[in-house]
Structure 1
Amino acid sequence: MDRHNTTRSFNGCWTCRLRRKKCDEYRPICDTCSALQITCYYDQEKPDWMDGGAKQEEMANRLKREVKESRRGDRNLGHRHAIIEPTTYDNQKRLEQLAISETPRDRNNSQEPHSETANTPLQREHDCKLASKHVSGNMSFARSDTILLTFHLEYILPFLFPFYNPSILEGGRSWILEMMISSPVVRQATLCQSSYFFSLARGVPSDDSTWETVLAQTRDAFCVLRQSLQFIHSSSITEHLHGAVRILASVMQIQRFEVAVLSFENCQAHLNAALAIFRQLLDSSEAVEPVGNRSRFASVISLLGPATRLLPAQGVHVPSAEQAAFRFSSALLLFDDIIASTVSQEQPKLYDYHHCLLHSSDGTEPLINFETVVGCQNWVLLHISEIAMLDTWKQGCKSAGNLNMIDLVHRATPIKDSLEAHLTQLGKNMADPGSRQGSILLEMFMVGYSQHSKTPSAQTALVTQVWAHATLLYLSVVVSGWQPASVEVRYHVDKIIELLTLRISPPALLRTMVWPFCVAGCLAEPARIPHFRAIADALQPSSVFGTVRKALEIMENVWRNQDAADNLSRDLATCFRNQGDLVLLV
């Protein structure tokens, strides 16, 4: 439709109708709302707040505030330049400070070195989107972007997250498409990954020009993230919940991209920023009413609604894009935090949230289900977290000179018993899989056409076994030290080799099991080393399986130093930390 048609219409967006303004009916954001940088509401059904009463008056006042704050935001940001280094946030603490309590003085006095600047006004909207008409040329939604974003949805996402396949009847992965289209913050983070992997897929040599293109996309993503953080933290996060969720999703996406290309120098900074935003989001719900962590998480989900009305007449609703993004990004963040704790030998930063978010409650599903995102059941990651806590306690006692081995074994025994019981039960469940659930009609639609089969979802029990055996190895090292020749260690290493070589298919799923693969490889005896090399070498090209290559590099370093004098005092954290930066094998 012609964007410049200014005829008053009764089919315009509900925002213009409420404000009694002309609407050009352009979707998803009409010209009037775009120019004012306010929320544009489009829906076939009349919103609940258009009731002619208190709700409508409240919404009218809210829109007035948006217009007022948008104009103030334009004045404040119109002459400000966002400065960022090519491949880092300013430093490891800088982004965390931005995400917590950045002040105008901090922003104005920033003097970091930089390679390019951006001057991109922000659209004042409930999801803190950037107005496309105000974005610089390198941020425009071009034909090339469409191809790269489609490539991301059809190929990169299934490759990076083969187990993330929510039913389309519940919205599927449509939230990712919606956010890529409507949010430059998410779009730029996505383009970083897409440009890199698309070049590899086309067989383009990884020369300096190719890498410079990837860096340019990364710089754009950092610039947009920086601006969004500045805008959100110039006021209360409760006013920008949707925007904060989009930033969280973008940070986690950039984290995954940089890990994939073996750029670990920013891992800690990304993690700190995401942790700060996550805590602020949950704290924002407590500002309304003090509640427990489980209720706070559910409250944020509710505030990010309402759910999308797909078929209003039939009462069919699916989660909103921000609701799905928050649940997905929270799962990745908790997962990364737990794995990071095995390297830092510190308590997981989100440990206090584990019980409420990862455990079932009253027979209901946990609020976060790792199995549907990374392919490993929650109980394994919970046990890894407990072992990390045990290791933290052990290191504290060693530093204080009062480590009691009997006490250590006493603390470790229930963890080991629980792990072995869960592993036994998992084997029984695999022998009796029970009834299959799902839509028969949907399966008929996909027969012969789906590029990405449902095979990975059937592999989650096997993947969970790999993680469980590696977790028992981790516990063994914490309690008994470095003993590759022990019968118990040899058993778990052999089980992992068997699962990876004979039972798990396709082999590319190893990308989701790099941490357990590396743990087992580090503890492998000389006779078993060739198995681990063969498993890693089978995944080609190596540029696509960067984390597997990094794991092999860590293993090779351990194997070269098997006879070193400090071999007995070695632990897994030492193996990972020898690489310098936080090595996040996710």
Structure 2
Amino acid sequence: MNRSSNGCWTCRLRRKKCDEQRPVCNECLTLHISTCKYGDKPVWMDGGIKQEAMSEQIKNEVKQHAPYRRRGKQESAANLNNNVSISIAESEDQSAARSNIHDFSTPPSGPSDVTSPVDTKRVCKQILQLRPFGQSDSVLLVFYLERILPFLFPFYRPAPLHGGRAWILDLVISSPVFRQAILCQSSYFFALAHGTSTITDDRMWETLLEQTKDAFNMLRGSIRIIESYDKNEHILGSVRAMAAVMQLQRFEIAITCFDNCQAHLSAALTLFKKVVDVVGAASLASSSTTFQTILNLLGLPSWILPAQQAEVSSSEQAAFRFSTALLLFDDIIASTALQERPQLYDYHQSLLCQNDGIDIVPPINLETTMGCQNWVLKQIGEIAALDAWKKRCSAAGNLDVAELVHRAAAIKKTLEAHVSQFETYLVSVPEGSSLLDDMFAAEDHAGQARTIARQSWLVTRIWAHSAFLYLSVIVSGWQPANVDVRHHVSQVLELLTHQVSPPALLRTMAWPFCVVGCLTESAQKPRIREMIDLLRPASRFSTVRRGFDIIEKVWNDRAMGNAGEFATYFRSDTTLVLLV
């Protein structure tokens, strides 16, 4: 329904049509809502925590007064809550329920009602009124936590004793924007789980599109409100919106829609910088301890067990750490396609590296999120920055090839030093080990940690070989017959063919798979096609298959002798193909 901008603020918050009756509109009067207000925007209409809290307060008020509206009698909110609790608890006992069910309906008309069966439909309705969202949403949420999240991020295994994935549940309950972004993904994969034929159902697609539209609208509204505040006023709202953007990014990529990749990435970068501005961009770029300062601003940790023996990060702290890892990763991969220096390049040293040589974990550990160690992706960012420099010099007509080779040699030397150190501590992956099976079957934390470490070492090796190949293409173009190129290609094919298990793990390496595939020789092409054929159903591996489309395009252009620059295959005038 069309809504007037002159309606009461309560109707605007509830997205209901207001009849603008004063001093209290009929909608609020009918529902006995006490917060009906006209005039200046109230302080709780901030697009963030206060607004969400008020929304929950109004929902509870409507639920609490439901019996009052049906009975037409004045009862206090406390008594109504008590009646609801008693009736639901006693509904399991039919005899007790029969004596209390009338608390939610009209008075009994006669003795026959006392012995009538329990009105199950009415009791279920009462129970549903107490839920923060519907049962279908609960099913989709659990499906996301148990199936989708481990599939999309098999390396993301936060320790349960430190909160685990509870932050996702908390944000789903408290943030409508984040909840809608999660439901989009879950609805899609839930349909896939029931068979690929379901995807052709127009009704299913209509539902997905409607959910996506709602998520976009809510997100735009939140960002618009956030932008109107001073930098210190809405840091929590920025973090929640950033988390929602990253979830929408993953959802659209899952359905092979890359049209909004650039827009989502730009929005997430803007929100990240808005959070960083609270402490100062220069401060975060120069010191790794500044990231902890930002986390401290996102709320105090929770404490579980007596005497504060177990500390758990707040939901916003966990969400910001996870979303920042995804954003750094996406920004680096996007830079390889855009021929630009990563937009978060200035923060790579402080966020991805150890502090001044001290043996500590860096603020952001991509290995625990994406499976690849930080040093590889940092060097890929360096290569992207080199490609951007080359592009600028070529456009200006002053490219110095000797300088290009010199800069590339420095990056290659750094990569080789890291690989040498990495190989020293490398533990081989046992043949036949299965990432997902091992992760779910492991009973002890130490065993689980060893399994994840072995698999991340494997993934890191593949990314490292791909980084060498990427550097080679930037400096020398497509040279599949080059000795070094052949070495790195054969190493990756060997790892992918004989050590990556299950084959589904390939979806976490879409970008390196594409780079290696583009440089394979004719005899190796069947191995690439065989890996693609193993990924069933195809709809669950959209990024890998889109990468294979790029590989085939490069093969055809190489055969015709007109292969273009590396980055041109990952973008068009309007679309960024983000292989994440």
Is the 2:47–2:225 Cα contact (8 Å) retained in structure 1? no
Of residues 230, 234, 242, the one that matches 1:236 is 230
Matches within 5 A, 1:10-29: none
Kept in 2: contact 1:165–1:372 (CA 8 A):
yes
8 Å CA contact 1:341, 1:348 repeated in 2: yes
Q: Residues 305 and 71 from structure 1, CA distance in 2 versus in 1: closer, same or farther, beyond 3 angstroms? A: farther
State the Cα distance separating 1:305 from its structure 2 match.
2.0
Q: Whole-Å Cα distance in 1 between the matches of residues 495 and 410 of structure 2?
A: 26
Compared CA separation, residues 423 and 453, structure 1 to 2 (3 A)? closer
Query: What is the aligned counterpart of 1:161 among 153, 161, 165?
Result: 153
User: Aligned partner of 2:335: which letter?
Assistant: S
Q: Deviations over 1:479-506 (max 9, x none)?
A: 1121111111111111111111111211
Give the number of the structure whose residues are more often helix, by fraction: 2
Q: Among residues 198, 204, 216, which one is paired with 1:205 in the alignment? A: 198
TM-score, with normalisation over the residues of structure 2? Answer: 0.74
Question: Which of 515, 525, 531 is residue 529 of structure 1 equivalent to?
Answer: 525
Aligned partners of 2:140, 2:284: CA distance in 1, in Å? 44
**Counterpart of 1:235 in 2: which secondary structure?**
coil
SS of corresponding position for 1:415: helix
Name 2:142's counterpart in structure 1.
150
Q: CA deviation at 1:458?
A: 2.7
CA-CA distance at 1:293 after TM superposition? 5.2
Aligned position for 2:468: 472
Q: Which amino acid aligns with 1:169?
A: L
For residues 444 and 216 of structure 1, the distance between their equivalents in structure 2, rounded to whole angstroms, comes to: 34
Give the Cα separation in 2 of the matches to 1:126 and 1:288.
31
Tell me how far 1:230 sits from its aligned partner: 2.4
| Structure 2 residue matching 1:238: 3-state secondary structure | coil
The match for 2:55 is 131
Residue 186 of structure 1 and its aligned partner are, at CA, apart by 0.9
2:425 partner SS = helix
How far residue 336 of structure 1 moved from its aligned partner, in angstroms, is 0.4
Q: Residue type of the partner of 2:198?
A: P
Decide which of 481, 485, 491 is 2:487's aligned counterpart.
491
- The offset of 1:185, in angstroms, is 1.1
User: Contact 1:293 / 1:353 at 8 angstroms: preserved in 2?
Assistant: no
Q: Where does 1:495-534 land on structure 2 (aligned, <5 Å)?
A: 495-534=491-530
User: Match for residue 386 of structure 1?
Assistant: 382
CA drift of 1:260 comes to: 1.1
Which ranges of structure 1 fall in alignment gaps of 5 or more residues? Answer: 1-33, 38-69, 79-119, 434-442
Q: Answer whether contact 1:178 1:321 (CA < 8 A) is retained.
A: yes
Asked if 1:274 corresponds to 2:198, the answer is no
| 1:168-219 deviation line (CA, Å, top 9, x unaligned) | 1111111111111221111100000000000110125212221111111111
Structure 2 unaligned blocks of 5 or more = 1-9, 14-34, 63-127, 430-438
Query: 1:125 deviation in Å?
Result: 2.5
Aligned residues: 465
The residue matched to 2:311 in structure 1 has which SS? Answer: strand
Q: Is the 8 A contact 1:128 1:242 kept in 2?
A: no
The answer to whether the Cα contact below 8 Å between 1:128 and 1:243 also exists between their aligned partners in 2 is no
Pick from 354, 361, 367: which aligns with 1:360?
354
Aligned residue in 2 for 1:574: 568
Amino acid at match of 2:491: K
State the partner residue of 1:347: 341
Shift of 1:343: 0.3
1:247 aligns with 2:171: no
Q: CA deviation at 1:333?
A: 0.4
Rounded Cα–Cα distance in structure 2 between residues aligned with 1:470 and 1:407: 23
Counterparts of 1:236 and 1:445 in 2: how far apart (Å)?
48
Of the three residues 412, 423, 426, the one matched with 1:427 is 423
Question: How much has 1:285 moved relative to structure 2?
Answer: 2.3
C-alpha distance in 1, partners of 2:362/2:255? 32
* Residue correspondence of structure 1 range 155-234 to structure 2 within 5 A: 155-203=147-195, 205-207=198-200, 208-234=202-228
Greater Cα shift, 497-506 or 371-380: 497-506
> For residue 192 of structure 2, what is the amino acid of its counterpart?
L
CA–CA distance in structure 2, aligned partners of residues 125 and 447 of structure 1: 38
**Is 1:311 equivalent to 2:305 in the alignment?**
yes
Q: Is the aligned partner of 1:376 residue 2:300?
A: no
Q: Whole-Å Cα distance in 2 between the matches of residues 214 and 228 of structure 1?
A: 21
Distance 2:252 2:53 in 1: 24
AA aligned to 1:426 is: F
Max radius of gyration: which structure? 2
Residue deviations 1:264-304, cap 9 Å, x none? 11000000010011011010123999994534422210001
Written as runs of structure 1 = structure 2, the 5 A alignment for 1:320-339 is: 320-339=314-333
What is the root-mean-square deviation in Å for CA atoms of aligned residues? Answer: 3.2
1:393: how far off?
A: 1.0
Distance in 2 (alpha carbons) for counterparts of 1:551 and 1:489 = 19
1:309 is paired with a residue whose SS is strand
Question: Which shifted more, 575-584 or 403-412?
Answer: 575-584
Specify whether residues 132 and 527 from structure 1 end up closer, same or farther in structure 2 by C-alpha distance, changes over 3 A only.
farther
User: Contact 1:484/1:524 (CA < 8 Å) preserved in 2?
Assistant: yes
Answering whether residue 547 of structure 2 is matched by residue 551 of structure 1, we say yes
Q: Residue 459 of structure 1 aligns to a residue in which SS?
A: helix
> Residues 526 and 350 of structure 1: is their aligned pair in 2 closer, same or farther, counting only changes over 3 Å?
same
Aligned to 1:25: none
Q: Identity percentage over the alignment?
A: 50
Q: Map residues 13-92 of structure 1 onto 2, 5 A cutoff.
A: 76=41
